Amino acid sequence: MSLRDDRAGRLILSLRRQGVTDARVLKAMESIDRAVFVHEKFLDQAWEDQALPIDCAQTISQPYIVGLMTQALDVQPRHRVLEIGTGSGYQCAVLSRMARFVYSVERYKSLLTEAENRLKILGIDNVFTRHGDGGQGWPEQAPFDRIMVTAASPHEPTELL
pLDDT (average), residues 35-59:
96
* Cβ–Cβ < 8 Å for 11, 33: no
Widest CA span in the chain: 48
Name the DSSP letter for residue 99. S
Is a pLDDT exceeding 90 seen at residue 16? yes
CATH of domain 3-151: 3.40.50.150
Is a pLDDT exceeding 80 seen at residue 5? no
Q: How do strand 146-149 and strand 127-131 relate by DSSP bridges?
A: unpaired
> Rounded CA gap, 21 and 155, in Å?
33
What's the pLDDT at 155?
Answer: 78
Residue type, 65: I
Domain boundaries, the chain: 3-151
Count of positions (residues) in the chain: 161
Known catalytic membership, residue 61 = yes
CA angle 91-20-45, nearest 5°?
55
Catalytic residue chosen out of the listed positions 2, 61, 104, 153:
61
Task: For 87-112, write each residue's pLDDT tens digit.
Answer: 999 999 999 999 999 999 999 999 99
* Cβ–Cβ < 8 Å for 137, 106: no
pLDDT (average), residues 2-25:
90
Q: What percent of the chain has pLDDT over 90?
A: 88
